[in-house]
Amino acid sequence: GRIFLEPRPIVLDDLGDAGSAPIFSDVQCSESAIWALTGDGVVIVWERVPASISERAVSSSRPSGLTGGKRVNGLDRPVKDMSVGASHAAFLTEDGRVYCLGSNKCGECGADPAKTAVASSCRLIKFPRHVNPVVRVHCGKSHTVAVGAEGQVLSWGDDSKIQLGLGDTRSNCGDERPWEGSRGYINKVQTGEGMAPPSALRGGPLAPSFSKARPTSSARYGEFEAHAQWKPQLTMDIPLEFERQVHGTPYPPPDGLVGGDDFTILMVRDSPDWFSPEEESNRLFCCGENGKGQCGRSLQTSQQIFSATKLPRNSFTHSVSCGSDHCLAVLQRVGKRKREIWAWGSNEKGQAGGSSAAVACPASRLKLPKDVRVEAAWCGFNTSAVVCSDRPLSRARQEAPAAATAAVAG
């Protein structure tokens, strides 16, 4: 298709009763539309954007803007936040309700896909008790995740890459490795619990076993059943890292929620709640597709349940942004003033900032000029951008280069 390098203005024809241009607070893009959220909580969408620009480019030699735009109806209250995926969108209203609109082929809009393939109007999502009001919502390519009032994490939609965080739903059996081999023998000596027979003695890895390990997933799928959930489901508890296993201290509710096409990331506080803000640290836990290192941990598994992304310990992540299959994180180490940019995932088009097109996994730090301060990072589908501000140099550092230049010139 055509590639446009120059910006194109977007014009809203319907200005409403006020007659003045609205002030936009957020703009996001899907595959073929532009979604804008005004300061008054009104959502406006421009549809068929690529086709409209192409038609205008063919009919006129002079670049022209995009006109039109229509308000999204069916929302009872003003919208305070929105999330736009590739083919569907979710809106969070001021009273904590979630509405979905768009494609529903995997149930990502909260409707049975066998009956409703497309949510043509805003659909109110029904949650279990004690979930409303919802505080966060995020859309992937074909799945949706939300955080409830009490910290519950619920997800619905496509689960073919275990991106819903329901556990390892690829199998209805649990992990029997703790009862096999040397690990199983040590467990038998310590606890007296019997070992599971190895796969070679029971006729292969797919042969039935004693099912000593219970399934770790909260959902099961039949042999010919689609791996999808159209009703919001509670995700699994985040597995404890080694330091927390001794005391069994669970992680607090997530403070942030992001994700890409087929993976989901939760931002969770890792430091005790009595730490000062300067000493606070957090961790990122990712689940879903990992074929291109989207989870930022390792490439040992093509998909994974919630596991920590390998970032510096004792660091605080200010923000995370995810593209189609890559991520950028702005973090700051405890006791340090400088912010750092870390990237992981696919680098096929240089979106992870590396010198090669290989996969960036685990996460790696991007090199930036010394005299800049990182303010924010953003990911498009296959692009990345970092906003930096100039950091003034001290007087000694300003005079040193001048002295060196004068010495060379002399």
- What tens digit of pLDDT does each residue of 121-169 get? 999 999 998 899 999 999 999 999 999 999 999 999 999 999 999 988 8
Q: Which residue has the tokens 């702005």?
A: 330
- Residue 403 pLDDT: 33
Res 3 pLDDT > 80: no
Q: Indicate whether 319 pLDDT > 70.
A: yes
Whether the per-residue pLDDT at 356 is higher than 70: the answer is: yes
Nearest 10 degrees: Cα torsion 94, 259, 357, 29: -30
Written as six digits, the tokens of 108 are 């990502």
Strands (DSSP E) contained in 129-221 are: 136-139, 143-147, 153-158
- What's the rounded Cα separation, in Å, for the pair 34 and 232? 27
- What does DSSP say about strands 360-365 and 339-345: parallel, antiparallel, or unpaired? antiparallel
Interval 197-232: pLDDT, tens: 666 665 655 555 555 555 567 788 877 889 999 999
Q: Which tens digits make up the pLDDT trace of 4-23? A: 557 777 777 766 655 677 88
Element (H, E) at 406: helix 395-409
HSE on the CB side for 225, CA within 13 Å? 13
Dump strand ranges (E) for 177-273: 228-234, 256-259, 263-269
pTM: 0.83
**Which residues, 6+ apart, have CB-to-CB distance to 215 below 8 Å?**
167, 171, 172, 173, 174
State residue 345's pLDDT score: 94
Distance CA 128, CA 131 (A): 6
